[in-house]
Amino acid sequence: MIYPNIRTVNNFPYIINKKTSPSIIVWIMLLIIFFLIFLIIAFNYRYSTYETYLGYVKNDNLVLYVKNDKLDNLCSLNLLIGNEKFDFKIIDISDEYYLVNNDNYYQVTIEVKLKEEWLIENNILNIVFEKPKTTIYEQIKKGLNKWKN
C-alpha cells in the first residue's frame, strides 16, 4: 500500500503555497457565495402557506371535511373565498368521522357571511385557509421534526 508523504500532509506552509488551478478557486468561491445567498434568503424571506378545501353551502353555512390533525389550529387561520377574506365561526364539528386512506376526516360546519351569489343550496366552493407567514428555514425544521418522529 502506498502511503502519502507525512511531511507534505502536515506541513501547513506547503499546503498554503501549493499552486492550485484558478478555475477551481473560482468555482469554490461561487459555491460559497451561492450558499450564503441561500442562507440569507432561507432565514429572512417570509411567505404565506395555504390549506385548500372543497366545501358546500348548507342552510346558509359552509360544510367542509377536515383532517383530524388540522382541526386544532383551524380557528386561528384566515378564511379566503375568491381572494376575499371573511370572518367565520365554527358552529359544529361532527362526532362521526370519515375514513379515507387511513386518515380521519371530520365534518365541520362554519358560519360565514357569504355573498348572495354563493348562497345557493349545495353550491360547491373552493375554500382557502391562510396560515401565518413562515420562512424556508422554519419549514425545513418542521419537516425534519416530522421525519424524526
pLDDT tens-digit series, residues 76-122: 888 998 888 988 999 999 888 888 888 889 999 999 998 888 888 88
Q: Which three cell numbers stand for residue 14?
A: 506547503
Distances (CA, A) of 41 to 30, 46, 47: 17, 9, 11
Q: 35 vs 60, which has greater pLDDT?
A: 35
Please check whether residue 122 is in contact with residue 57, taking contact to mean a CB–CB distance below 8 angstroms. Answer: yes
State yes or no: pLDDT of 46 exceeds 90: yes
Q: Which three cell numbers stand for residue 3?
A: 502511503
Q: For residues 119, 122, 128 and 131, what is the CA-based torsion angle, rounded to 10 degrees?
A: 100
pTM as predicted: 0.70
The residue-averaged pLDDT of 43-60 equals 91
DSSP letter (8 states) at residue 20: -
Average pLDDT of the chain to the nearest whole number: 86
Please check whether residue 51 is in contact with residue 131, taking contact to mean a CB–CB distance below 8 angstroms. Answer: yes
Please check whether residue 53 is in contact with residue 74, taking contact to mean a CB–CB distance below 8 angstroms. Answer: no
